[in-house]
Structure formats: structure tokens, C-alpha cells
Amino acid sequence: MATTLLWIQAGACSGDTMAILGAESPNLLEALEMLGIELLWHPSLSLQSPDWLDGLIQRIERDEQALTVFCIEGAVLAGPNGTGMFDSFRGRPKMNVIGSLCEKAGVVVAVGSCSSFGGIPAAHPNPTDAVGLQFLREEREGGLLDPTWKSKLGLPVINLSGCPVHPNTVIQTLTWVLSGVRLELDHLNRPAEFYSSLVHQGCTRNEYHEYDVEEVNFGTAGCMFFNLGCQGPRTTATCNTILWNGESSKTRAGVPCFGCTSPSFPRPEDLFKTEKLGQVPLRLPLGVDRASYMSYKGLAKLAAPTRLIERKTK
């Protein structure tokens, strides 16, 4: 029996599609061939019409077409008033179509933070009643599917969060799942391999952070955590260990990490400003207590090498 994949978009900006189309070594088409995947339909790659897709969906629902992997990009829009008609397909609420196909799939993959946790559409005041597949932001209750739901292969929805998610994360996860490799998931149902190290790890601004050489303006080499809203020390992702296009990341380009892999993304405050209690960030790096942070940073600032203070990179 062929290994099949169906990719559906819900409340999405197509960012995850754009990201995976830029995959390299292998690219998307090479990966599909390598894994023996028959791509049933993808909104940006398939030539068939929406009418044809409607027939495909009906064949899957009638068990006339097998569905191995079901990928969903974008938040599920449950409004207005629980009808789901803010996002419909051929007169059916998209959320009903997605729920029905999830019951037929061997594996269900939430591609991106929107389908994982609700993402930007689910941010306050959430006018479309957007939800993730099995989560609503940080909560296990409130997603489209029950928190205890499992696919035909006995897996919960595999959340590949990110805005967008790195293409390597998608392709490698599919490779493991289809190869029968046991997938270790974290408490948010994300593959631990990609969501257990901090964005801070591998950041080229690490040394500035350790010596509390912090920036107040963009365009300089220092750390952006203390003043400019960077969430790198609080966010688990591979951005600085598996670079985008093999070359860069937000922090390497001088942009703060927004914490886009987190269920609380986007956080309800200025993305370019660090909220503080007095002179100390309100939210400290993961695993660090406030007293230790204050004493350590005071000593570190006094010990900062001159080359860092003067922003000399060599």
C-alpha cells in the first residue's frame, strides 16, 4: 500500500508552505521520493482543482483512499459561535473536514504554531475563535481534538511549532515516523530532538549576554535579551544550531527572537521591548531564579572584557 500525504491549509498565511518549499538537502520533492510518499494534494503544489480535492476528501472519508500522513497548516477557526463557518470548504466548516480526516489518518502533523497552538489567529481577542488541533495556546483543553485523542498509529497530534517551522524539522520528523523510529515527544507533543535546546544556545551574541553587555538600540553586536525583547534564553528551538538556508537566524541578523515556537506566541506585549521589574527582566531565562540572576549579572558586568564593551568582534 502506498504511503500517502495530504496537506490542508486552515487559518494560515502560507508561511510554513513557503518555508518547506525552501528545504535543502533534501529538498521537498527529493524527500517525498526518498520516503516513497505519494502526495495526494497540496495547495501550492497540486494542479488539481478544489472540486477534485472535494472528491478526494470524500473518498478518504469512505475508506476508498488510504491516508498515511495528514498535515495541517494554520489555525482551526471555530467561529462564529462554534459553527466553524469563518473558514469553509464546499459548504462544510473546515474544522469538520479536518476533524473527519484526522480520524482516517495514520499520523497527524500540525505544521507551524497556528495549527499546533492557535498562534497569531488565537491571540487576544481571538475574533475567529481560532484553536490548535489539540491545544489552545498553553492549554490542553480547547483544541479541535480531545486531549486524549490518538491517530490510527497511536500517536497524538505531532506539533511542529514555529512561525514558520524550519523545513528540516518537518522532513526529519516525517522520515522518523515513516521509518518506524520511536518519536520522543515533549510535554507539548513536539519532537524533543528539535525542541529541547534553547535558541540562546548557538547564538553569536552569547558572550555579550553572559557578561551583561546589553543593547538599547538595534544594529549593534550586544545581547538583545535585557532591553530589546529577545526571547532566545526562554525559547526552545533549533534556530541557532540548524540555521535557516544554512546561513543565518533572527538573532544573527540582529532581530530579537520572538519565541515563535512557544504555545504563548505571540505574547501580549511589545515584541521589541523587555518588560522589567525594576532593572531586572520580568521573565528570566529558563531555569534561572531571580536572586541568582541578580547577583551573577552584577558580578559579570564588572568583569566584562574591554573588547566586548567596545563591541570588538575580533
DSSP codes, 56-68: HHHHHHTTSS-EE
**Residue where the block lists cell 466553524:** 84
pLDDT tier, 314 (very low <50, low <70, confident <90, very high otherwise): low
- 286 compared with 104, residue with greater pLDDT: 104
pLDDT tier, 59 (very low <50, low <70, confident <90, very high otherwise): very high
Average pLDDT value for residue range 233-240: 95
- What is the distance between the alpha carbons of residues 257 and 251, in angstroms, rounded to a whole number? 6
Q: Which long-range contacts (CB under 8 A, 24 or more apart) does 19-22 make?
A: 19/164, 19/165, 19/166, 19/167, 20/111, 20/167, 20/170, 20/171, 22/167, 22/245
- Asked if the bond preceding 125 is cis, omega within 30° of 0, the reply is yes
Nearest to 263 by CA among 117, 93, 46: 117
- What is the distance between the alpha carbons of residues 68 and 201, in angstroms, rounded to a whole number? 35
- What is the distance between the alpha carbons of residues 244 and 51, in angstroms, rounded to a whole number? 36
- pLDDT of residue 62 exceeding 80, the answer is yes
**Residues ≥6 apart with Cβ < 8 Å to 127:** 79
User: Which 3 state secondary structure label does DSSP give 55?
Assistant: helix
- pLDDT of residue 8 exceeding 80, the answer is yes
- From the number of C-beta atoms within 10 Å of its C-beta (0-12, 13-18, 19+), residue 178 rates as middle
Q: Please tell me the predicted confidence (pLDDT) of residue 312.
A: 67
Q: Please tell me the predicted confidence (pLDDT) of residue 80.
A: 97
CATH numbers and ranges of domains, the chain: 3-178 (3.40.50.700), 197-314 (4.10.480.10)
Average pLDDT value for residue range 19-36: 92
Average pLDDT value for residue range 230-238: 96
How does pLDDT run across 262-280, given as a tens digit for each residue?
999 999 989 999 998 887 8
- pLDDT of residue 213 exceeding 90, the answer is no
How does pLDDT run across 109-155, given as a tens digit for each residue?
999 999 999 999 999 999 999 999 999 999 999 999 999 999 999 99
Average pLDDT value for residue range 180-209: 94
Q: Please tell me the predicted confidence (pLDDT) of residue 1.
A: 66
Average pLDDT value for residue range 195-201: 94
- What is the distance between the alpha carbons of residues 76 and 10, in angstroms, rounded to a whole number? 6
User: Which 3 state secondary structure label does DSSP give 146?
Assistant: coil
